[in-house]
A and B are shown apart, each in its own frame.
Chain A
Amino acid sequence: MDVSSQARWENLLWAAGTAIFIVVGSILVGCAAKRVARWRGLSASEQRKVYWGFLFAAPWIIGFVIFVLGPALASLYYSFTDYKLGKPMTWAGLDNYRELLLGQGAQGRRFSQAMFNSFYYMAVGVPLQIVTALGMAMLLNNQMRGIRIFRLIFYLPVILAGGPAALLAWRYMFAGNGGFVNVTLQNIAGSFFLFDWIYRAFIFTVEAINSLYAGIAEGSPIGPFKYAVPALIGALMLLSLVRGEWTPSKRARAWLVAELVGATLIILLAARALVADPLDPGLLLGIGALAALGALLADYRGENRRYRLWTLIPPLLAALTLAAVFVLGGETERSLYIPALLAAAAPVALVLVARAPAHRRFILGGGAALLIGFIILRLIPGQLDGGRLSILPQYLTLQSAIVQPDNLDYLKTEFAATTPAALWLYGLVALVLGGLAVANNRYPRAARTVALVALAAFSLFAVSAIVDGVRYFQAYDQIAQATGQPNYHFSQFRTATATWPDKNRVPLWMTNELWAKPSLILITMWSSGAGMLIFLAALKGVPRTFYEAAEVDGANRWQKFWKITLPMISPAMFYNIVIGIIAALQTFDTIYILRTPQTEDDLASAAFFLFNRTFRQLEIGQGAAVSWILAVIIVLLTVLQFRYNKWVYYEA
């Protein structure tokens, strides 16, 4: 008998043995459960139910203990050791976690990059996937002949993308020079001048976005621009406040936008800091704390008391993350980030809790004191992060804060404004907004005056920051030109800002760092049919009468989409986002097959880094630590998403 048929027979025997093992095991589990039920004094019929319930669930329970729980505990233990294959294993405490979370050394940096790549897949890939899926679903949501065939075709890539065959076909089609994708694109572009412009704009956009992202990921200085972002947000928010009545719904919407933009900003800055500055990663943990606190408060005022128990989870996680900063971080992190995070979190508390009138004054006073205290601290030079908020007077009077534009060292280190400063600014914006929102209820006129002043201040600040940002870019470029060297410290941004693609340029899919991630995302868009089906089902569930009523009211297509369709399918949207984000963190097979030596680092997801660390470098201990960090992030994301789904409209 040849090897493979022998192996098959053996496997069949094992399968039969396993079946018997499961049957026997299930009966034993059932009996044991019944015994426990009897011991706990349940009635006879309850005992019977417990017996049958556990009997049927036992296959999963037994498998869970053997194949998941045991290995998971083992890997949790490994994560606290320096276990490397072939070397004696010793207890390492938190070393693995510290190295990874604080971005220490080469591995910490590489882990940061992998996390950054994963963020990219979440921030760019998931929305594109959702848009594609929703677009396809809307196309298919028409009663037409042959629509089922189209549905089949749209879904087909999903079942193929999991295997190597389709990925290899893509790889072949992606060849840079003479590959099918590029040849087709070039032919289309060459046929008509307008198409050529679109084609070049496409190349430019992708490269600009990706070089910007790569620049942030590598910790390239983004200069004064980072001050401009929160200031602009503040100005925009205030503008809407000044323009009209500050109704509850408007306030809620404004707050949501502020929070979303702020959270995105913090994530970007924190991720940047994670790479550039080993002191910063405490921030990443802080995001969890901030969002969790918000989630807690958002739910606490909800009427549904059943959720109160659940709302204990986010503050616990928040406390945990803050504790993590405290334990893992050194003196500097503690003094810098914990107060900064608390300051940023305070306004969240302010706005959300302020609805309970009894607490309002207390919190308002406390928040104001906090703000004043911190600002004073920040304005004293040498305090906290070197008094970099002293740019405040300069920027408010439209002056440049760059003192020595021809000194590279000054620009690189001294001037390179650090993340906490921008975070502080964000906190400031949020606090002003929050304070106004509260004050507006009671003192509308005073609030409006304050808002106008704040609007002016933020606008001045934003303008100065933008102008200084451009100056900052130019200074770098001039130094590079003067020395005749490529603009090393700034090349990412130079590419982003300066290069309009020449004629005949082609996208270097898979081989160029700027195109590696877009290639992967294109493939995930190609295979986004699963999300499409969920959207399709949701679309079919929207009652026709809603649209008819809207048509009677004279609503146009766009309005119908925003006011009816989108709210009605929000549960499906929510589900797709959660699934998409978790999948983005765990991307593995695609990278495994599509990577090239040149782009491996640019593609590597967190899961891929884990695989490399464990199986290529045999560092089991650190690999295990990565897997647990990943698990915690996924749990956090899922919990947060379920807590934060206020905007999801559920029927009835």
Chain B
Amino acid sequence: MATVSGNAQLSAPPQVAQPNLFLRFVRAVDARALILYAILLAASLFFLFPMAWMAGTSLKTVEEVGQPQLNLLPANPQWNNYAKLLQEDTFYRAYTNSVFVVSVVLVGTVTSIALVAYAFSRLEWKGRGVVFALMMGTLMLPAQATLVPQYVLFHNLGWIRTFNPITIPGFFAGGAALIFLVRQFMLSIPRELDEAAMIDGANPLQIWWYVIMPLSRPAIATITVFLFVGQWNNLINPLIYLQRAELFTMPIYVAQKNNLQESPIPWQDIMAASVLFIIPVLVIFILTQRYFVEGITMTGTKG
């Protein structure tokens, strides 16, 4: 608010006549802020609507879903749509599978990325430039390029119809963009800290763990959130590798609800499943949105 009124002061020419009471009121409210709020609210509507629509539909009856889409909210909320889902074994299984897969991926990937980013930022070694350039180069390779040979590889490892193809590759610091992000952050930590630790006789591993990691917490949190969202939404890889209903994760479950050969399409069920599917992402996002903002800003501006 301070700067807004500051602006007003700057641009307001000296008043000759005293404005009447109404005008004074308007000035106090600050018309510019009001207009801004109005625009912001309108934009928010656009961004929030699909979610609101999802939630509204999930509480509708079959009949309401089959009518022209005018009402956001149902006449009578059908909480039963959710109860039905929660009682399904397949739903429970898909949910727990998703939670499991995401946890494993997070532990492996975050640790390995932190290690690799450390090598690319705090350590100075011959060959670093080449390896780093190679890593950034992988960003340009389309993922589909290696899909078939990778399938053969995973098959030879006996990994088809297991969680391995989805979780294990992450342990090898999967995701050049995320390594880059953490590296950028680590570069900003003052050099003196390492040097001081070195003089105290610490080896690079100890410096990494005791000095750099605690200071890199925002970056680590950022990539954790990125990874969480990415994995939670991941559809194609699980589709190709899991194959077995017992191993299906939530995205497959939701997508399959849509594929069911039913008529009319049970939108209320699909949307209820969707709502339950996005809740964890929403919660994590709201709790950590500060890191999100920092993380994205870091990738974009310091590159």
Residues of A bordering B, CB below 8 Å: 2-4, 7-8, 10-12, 14-15, 18-19, 22, 33, 37, 42, 46, 49-50, 52-57, 59-64, 66-68, 70-72, 74-75, 78, 136, 139-140, 142-145, 150-157, 159-160, 162-166, 168-170, 172-173, 175, 177-180, 183, 526, 529-530, 533-534, 536-538, 541, 548, 551, 571-572, 575-576, 582, 585-586, 588-589, 592-593, 607, 610-611, 614, 620, 623-624, 627-628, 630-631, 634-635, 638
Contact = CB atoms under 8 A, between A and B. Distances in A.
B80 interface: no
B142 A169 contact: no
Contact of A143 (B3, B37, B145): B3
Contacts of B277: 163-165
Contact of A537 (B3, B112, B300): B300
Nearest to B229: A159
A72 B141 contact: yes
B202 interface: no
A12 to B, nearest CB: 7
A16 to B, nearest CB: 10
Given A53-B119, A71-B146, A631 B141 contact: yes
Contacts of A173: 50, 53, 69
7 contacts: A64-B172, A152-B286, A164-B254, A164-B274, A165-B277, A166-B54, A631-B140
Contacts of B150: 67, 71
Contacts of B142: 585-586, 607, 610, 627, 630-631, 634
Contacts of B67: 178
A169 B268 CA distance: 10
B211 interface: no
B93 to A, nearest CB: 6
Given A8-B100, A534-B297, A68 B93 contact: no
Contacts of B48: 153, 156
Contact of B2 (A61, A143, A183): A143
B172 A63 contact: yes
A610 B144 contact: yes
B44 A150 contact: yes
A60 B51 CA distance: 38
A471 B8 CA distance: 58
Interface of B: 1-4, 10-11, 33, 36-37, 39-40, 43-44, 46-48, 50-51, 53-54, 57, 67-70, 93, 96-97, 100, 104, 107-108, 112, 115-116, 118-120, 123-128, 131, 134-135, 138, 140-150, 152-153, 162-164, 167-169, 171-174, 179, 203-204, 208, 229-230, 232-233, 235-236, 244, 246-247, 251, 254-255, 258, 267, 270-271, 273-275, 277-278, 281-282, 285-286, 289, 292-293, 296-297, 299-301, 303
Nearest to A73: B149
B119 A11 contact: no
Contacts, number: 332
Given A59-B116, A152-B289, A178-B67, A168 B254 contact: yes
A72 B145 contact: yes
B148 A614 contact: yes
Given A163-B277, A173-B53, A551 B229 contact: no
Main secondary structure on B side of the interface with A? helix
A131 B152 CA distance: 43
Contacts of A160: 50-51, 233, 278, 281
A512 B173 CA distance: 43
Contacts of A136: 43
Given A72-B146, A588-B144, A526 B47 contact: yes
A78 B151 CA distance: 14
Nearest to B167: A11
Nearest to A181: B69
A610 B273 CA distance: 31
B139 to A, nearest CB: 8
Nearest to B242: A7
Contacts of B258: 164, 168, 593
Given A71-B145, A169-B51, 16 more contacts: A54-B127, A60-B116, A66-B153, A139-B36, A143-B1, A155-B293, A160-B278, A164-B277, A165-B278, A168-B254, A169-B53, A169-B274, A178-B67, A534-B296, A588-B144, A592-B235
B158 to A, nearest CB: 10
Contact of A64 (B69, B135, B140): B135
Contact of B123 (A18, A52, A526, A588): A52
B82 to A, nearest CB: 15
Contacts of A163: 232-233, 235, 251, 254, 277-278, 281
A536 B297 CA distance: 8
A178 B69 contact: yes
B73 to A, nearest CB: 13
A114 to B, nearest CB: 12
B291 to A, nearest CB: 12
B300 A575 contact: yes
B271 A18 contact: no
A155 B53 contact: no
A60 B119 CA distance: 10
A242 B167 CA distance: 65
A53 B112 contact: no
B54 A150 contact: no
B112 A59 contact: yes
Nearest to A535: B300
Nearest to B134: A64
Given A533-B293, A551-B10, A53 B301 contact: no
B300 A534 contact: yes
A172 to B, nearest CB: 6
Nearest to B136: A638
A249 to B, nearest CB: 28
